[in-house]
């Protein structure tokens, strides 16, 4: 999980004749942390681009429980966009990944599970500062 830009997740769907159910718990295979916060984004303008930040530490699992949106990720070297378009499809994002959410469908409800409460100081919103921090971390690893 460390050196990859993203980890796409496929959740187990417990379906029967009544419909479908996905259950996610803290410290399960798909959510490798204690869930401390849940938030969801809905009613998003399809033209809007949200996110545009990385985190120092926060770990998150994202899932579109309704509709679809794109998650564009950047680790300072590589870029990748993943479309979340099914409630059984998730994305694990570790801290130092700069990410944006865009191309929201009108019915999109993007659910996010996080390993910590909201903490503004954990945000890195400036892209150039983000690149500096990534470089510093890489230097720490090689020295
Ligand atoms: P913002 O960081 O702009 O959302 P996004 O990263 O999706 O573009 O957050 C919008 C507002 O909501 C901002 O005032 C901070 C607040 N907020 C919380 O209070 N708690 C939270 O868990 C989150 C994610 C945001």
pLDDT, tens digit, for every residue of 18-73?
999 999 999 999 999 999 999 999 999 999 999 999 999 999 999 999 999 999 99
- Determine if ligand 1 sits within 6 Å of the CB of residue 39: yes
Name the percent of the chain lying above pLDDT 70: 97
Give the domain CATH number at 32: 2.60.120.10
pLDDT value of residue 143? 78
Beta-strand ranges (E) seen in 4-141 are: 7-10, 37-42, 50-55, 60-66, 69-74, 79-84, 89-93, 98-102, 109-114, 123-124
Range of the domain at 76: 2-142
pLDDT at 110: 99
Q: Is the CB of 112 under 6 A from ligand 1?
A: no
To test the pocket of ligand 1, the residue of 38, 41, 48, 51 to mutate (highest count of ligand atoms within 8 Å of its CB) is 51
How far apart (Å, rounded) are the C-alpha atoms in residues 97 and 53? Answer: 8
Q: With a 6 A CB cut-off, is 50 part of the ligand 1 pocket?
A: yes
pTM higher than the cut 0.85 = yes
> Using 50, 70 and 90 to split pLDDT, how confident is the model at 4?
low
User: What is the position in ligand 1's atom list of the atom closest to the CA of 112?
Assistant: 24
Q: In total, how many domains does the chain have?
A: 1
């Amino acid at each position: 999980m460390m050196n990859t830009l993203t980890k796409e997740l496929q959740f187990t769907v417990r379906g029967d004749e009544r419909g479908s159910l996905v259950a996610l718990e803290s410290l399960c295979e798909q959510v490798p942390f204690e869930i401390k916060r849940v938030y969801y984004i809905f009613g998003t303008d399809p033209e809007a681009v949200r996110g545009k930040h990385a985190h120092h530490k926060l770990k998150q699992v994202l899932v579109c429980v309704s509709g679809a949106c794109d998650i564009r990720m950047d680790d300072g070297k590589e870029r990748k966009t993943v479309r979340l378009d099914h409630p059984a499809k998730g994305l694990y994002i570790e801290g130092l990944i700069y990410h944006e959410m865009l191309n929201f469908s009108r019915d999109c409800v993007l659910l996010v599970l996080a390993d910590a409460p909201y903490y503004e100081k954990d945000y890195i919103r400036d892209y150039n500062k983000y690149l500096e921090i990534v470089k510093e971390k890489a230097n720490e690893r090689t020295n």
